[in-house]
Structure 1
Amino acid sequence: MHIPVLTIDGPSGAGKGTISRIVAKKLDWNYLDSGSFYRSLAIALLQRNADLSNESEILQIAQAIELAFECNDELIVKLNGKDITAQLGTEATGNVASIVAAIPEVRQVLLQKQKDFKKPPGLVADGRDMGTIVFPDADIKVFLTASAAERAERRYKQLMGKGIDVSIRRITREIEERDCRDKGRKTAPLVQAEDAFYIDSSAMTIEAVIDQVLSLVPQRLAM
């Protein structure tokens, strides 16, 4: 039985999570937020005050974590049975996640857990290497991006809306630094798959991006 897969890759803050969840819900497909794997591991590492220079310790913790996803109106992520959703979006979590995601052994541990989300009737997977590494044979691949300035502005508004006082200059700098790390890492760097559809969401509404992504599904599955 063929199980269709739609991957949405792109840099941090491009809107992959929001777009992917809504598309998955509209298609009634399973959903995989690969970033949550690394962010959940980052939270586990921070909780245990792990040494980020000790790859052996990081690998041991990665092997032990258990994740569960609940997709309602908002994504709920549980780490070893505890809701950690509120911690996923912090800058500290994101920065640690970007660091550990560059470790080949860690990626191998989490790779199969991601592949296991491929179940009927289909899967929408978002991340940075879904279409290049995890699901290279995906039926539909999208590379979703936006300018660093636009992504920083979105992040700034999101955090301020939660009552978190932040500097947009700092957010912009951290986004640019994370982009460099993600694009420059030796293992599974952030790149657009050759057969991916490129979408720049800088000047687009969420609805417009969703419509464009959904329009690709019947087109590609019919091929």
Structure 2
Amino acid sequence: MAFTIAIDGPAAAGKGTISKAVALHFGFAHLDTGLLYRAVGAKTLDGTDPIAAAQALVAEDLEAQDLRTPDVAQAASRVAVIGDVRAALVDFQRAFARRAGGAVLDGRDIGTVICPRAEAKLFVTASAEVRAERRYQELVGNGTQTSFETVLADVKERDTRDRDRAEAPMVAAKDATVIDTSALSIDDAISAAITAIEAARG
């Protein structure tokens, strides 16, 4: 039986960690939809047309090793504002969402555009400063040379682009449960998400 969980929110709010934990808890499949846009963005860095890259995307492209770099993150945010890119990736996401056995999708517009009829919707957020600190620690841990100020500016730039784009802007669905992880531990955030989903399941 299909059961779709839509989890949206800005970069580094914790939605990826929560989504994986939720999928594991319920035994559902998980799709990080941001990887679709990162994979397209990565292809554009070598000159590939973004629409052509989106239309030719295959599952193996999501396994590339360089999809978590800052350059790819910015490229992903740039291609995500292109309507034809989004349209090319919609069918992939919707088919995944209705697979038998349940699915968890996390992104920016899952509960509002991709799966507006999802059985459970969450919007995971946190302050820009908290998210920048998390991303900064992650990047430094991976050996990336950067500063907190640079990462904070990057986070704010992506927020503005994602929130203000004409095509599928990042907003919480009216019926989504909002979880602010600014002051929550990972375990508490996951627990809050599971409680909200169980309530939606009845």
TM-score bin, normalised by smaller chain: over 0.9
Give yes or no for the alignment of 1:26 onto 2:25: yes
1:6 partner amino acid: I
Runs of 4+ in 1 over 6 A off after TM superposition: none
Tell me the C-alpha RMSD between the 2 structures.
1.2
Distance (Å, rounded) in 2 between the aligned partners of 1:218 and 1:180: 32
Task: Return the TM-score normalized by structure 1.
Answer: 0.87
Alignment equivalent of 1:101, drawn from 77, 80, 84: 80
Distance (Å, rounded) in 1 between the aligned partners of 2:53 and 2:131: 31
Q: How does 1:1-223 map to 2 (within 5 A)?
A: 2-46=1-45, 48-50=46-48, 57-67=49-59, 78-79=60-61, 83-84=63-64, 86-118=65-97, 119-222=99-202
SS of residue paired to 2:123: strand
Distance (Å, rounded) in 1 between the aligned partners of 2:161 and 2:134: 21
Mapped contact 1:29–1:120 kept (Cα < 8 A): no
2:196 partner amino acid: L
Distance (Å, rounded) in 1 between the aligned partners of 2:103 and 2:40: 22
Distance (Å, rounded) in 2 between the aligned partners of 1:216 and 1:138: 13
Structure 1, unaligned runs of 5 or more: 51-56, 68-77
Identity of aligned residues (%): 39
Structure 2, unaligned runs of 5 or more: none
* 1:146-193 deviation per Cα after TM superposition (whole angstroms, max 9, x unaligned): 000000100111111112121110100011011011110000001010
The offset of 1:22, in angstroms, is: 1.3
Q: How many residues align?
A: 201
Task: Return the TM-score normalized by structure 2.
Answer: 0.96
Mapped contact 2:81–2:165 kept (Cα < 8 A): yes
1:43 partner amino acid: A
SS of residue paired to 2:7: strand
Mapped contact 1:129–1:189 kept (Cα < 8 A): yes
Point out the structure with the larger strand share. Answer: 1
2:56 partner amino acid: A
* 1:132-151 deviation per Cα after TM superposition (whole angstroms, max 9, x unaligned): 00000011110100000000
Distance (Å, rounded) in 1 between the aligned partners of 2:43 and 2:145: 25
Distance (Å, rounded) in 1 between the aligned partners of 2:181 and 2:70: 22
Distance (Å, rounded) in 2 between the aligned partners of 1:122 and 1:41: 26
